[in-house]
Amino acid sequence: MFAVRMITALLALAAAASPAMSQDRRVPTSPVELRLSYAPIVQRVQPAVVNVYAAKVVQNRNPLLDDPIFRRFFGVPGQQPEQMQRSLGSGVMVDSSGLVVTNNHVIEGADQVKISLSDKREFEAEIVLKDSRTDLAVLRIKDGKEKFATLDFANSDELLVGDVVLAIGNPFGVGQTVTHGIISALARTQVGITDYQFFIQTDAAINPGNSGGALVDMTGKLAGVNTAIFSRSGGSQGIGFAIPANMVRVVVASAKSGGKAVKRPWLGARLQAVTPEIAETLGLRVPSGALVANVTAGSPAARAGLKLSDLVVAIDGQTVDDPNGFDYRFATRPLGGTAQIDVQRAGKTVKLTVPLETAPDTGRDEIVLTSRSPFQGARVANISPAVADELRIDADTKGVVVTELADGATAASVGFQKGDIILAVNNQKITKTSDLEKATRESARLWRIVVVRGGQQINVTLGG
């Protein structure tokens, strides 16, 4: 009887306690608890986030001028009307001398760049370095005679999903704005924005104009540079992407050293993703890692002993999930040292030491083609290991490749693309840039061109 009464009493106590336990609510006990805020972090970092205004002059070309019949009967006007195109973005001050990092797409093609500080002061800026592979650019304030507020870099490899972050920028040109959220994902590799597919995903509201702005962690350090949003409407839908601070650090370091291009380690091997079919063949439980598809003779990879069909699974102790992940990890390693790469070979783990050195760039001979031809306005280069690495083609490839196309140039309008390899023009074999320059100086009514694009050979015939 006593046992029954005891059980009844315990059940009554549990029923009485359960509402309080489930709610677990309390009244704030001090004014301090009512004033929990991100304001101290914002006040500290906000002066280091700037607005970036870029402008370029473009000609309003009438599409009828591309029609030879129109040109024959009506002639070509001597002076085309000009228009000023403007773009707006954000940037982050990373050096007190006035060095600003932003997105390359914010200032691409700009004739004039201005920086506006959070206190509304404006400065002219010059472009120090552009890196289309990461979509980053570094600017410098002209005639800066003061020490500017800056942000320190966080170690973006230490970020975790769920960490709270702040996004600061100038969305839609309304003025500097702060939003907050969490890190939704790390190492996003299927975004398709830059060569290095390894983004921080956040749900902090990011909108047009935020590009180049700061993603800040709770210590007030720069976790990443906001770059893109996933949106069907053009506005924020809670999916934004930022370039990790460790990649931003590499680009800024190249700018500080006086370089006009970013210097990165060169592996000298082409890697491919592991599909479920390949994983089954290799006896893997999950399709993970990066499979070696090609190794360039004499490259750091070759000297380290990397072999065809090796499966790269880690670099310096960090797991490699796919080729994009490896590319990011390898590109952020400091030059001059070594990296340890773990590979699976014949069922065993092999550790290889790869020297961290830049790709040879001898014999590039890069030129811009100006003669009247389908190639007019194209920048072309001989394929060196450095060029092959930049354009993601095999270093063993020989020939001449398109490295850049001027906006509105003939080459762009007829359909040439960056990365096109020119093999022949009007039955003339093209092996170096001087061959192509010579071929374009010869007038022709028809242009028969052989191009390799994405590994496929294309035969093109264009009218002169």
Q: Do domains 156-256 and 269-355 have the same CATH topology?
A: no
Cα–Cα distance between 294 and 307 in angstroms, integer? 8
CA atoms within 13 A on the CB side of 185: 12
Taking the domains of the chain in order of start, what are their residue ranges?
47-69+80-141, 156-256, 269-355, 367-463
- What is 156-256's CATH number? 2.40.10.10
| Residue 377 pLDDT exceeds 60 | yes
CATH 2.30.42.10 fits 269-355, yes or no: yes
Cα–Cα distance between 303 and 171 in angstroms, integer? 49
Of 4-8, 249-253, 402-406, least confident by mean pLDDT is 4-8
Tokens, residue 410? 């003939």
> Given the structure tokens 């002639």, which residue do they identify?
75
pLDDT given for residue 454 in this prediction: 81
Of 93-107, 191-205, 304-318, 364-378, least confident by mean pLDDT is 191-205
Note whether 464 and 445 are within 8 A (CB).
Answer: yes
Burial class (CB in 10 A: 0-12, 13-18, 19+), 149: middle
Tokens, residue 326? 């490896």
According to CATH, the superfamily of the domain at 47-69+80-141 is Trypsin-like serine proteases (2.40.10.10)
- Size of the chain in residues: 464
Instruction: Please indicate whether residue 437 or residue 66 has the higher confidence score (pLDDT).
Output: 437
Tokens, residue 219? 């210590």
Task: Please name the fold of domain 367-463.
Answer: Pdz3 Domain (2.30.42)
Provide the annotated active-site residues.
105, 135, 211
DSSP structure string for 85-117: EEEEEEEEEEETTTEEEEEHHHHTT-SEEEEE-
pLDDT tens across 335-364, in order?
899 999 999 998 899 999 999 999 888 888
Note whether 44 and 219 are within 8 A (CB).
Answer: no
Confidence of residue 82 (pLDDT cuts 50, 70, 90): low
Of 22-31, 206-215, 266-275, least confident by mean pLDDT is 22-31
- Interior CA angle at 28 toward 23 and 33, to 5°? 125
pLDDT tens across 290-340, in order?
999 989 888 999 999 999 999 999 999 999 988 988 988 999 998 899 999
> Given the structure tokens 């063993």, which residue do they identify?
396
DSSP summary character for residue 48:
G
What is Dmax (Cα atoms) for the chain?
Answer: 114
pLDDT given for residue 409 in this prediction: 82
Task: Tell how many helices (H) and how many strands (E) occur in the chain.
Answer: 12, 25
pLDDT given for residue 346 in this prediction: 85
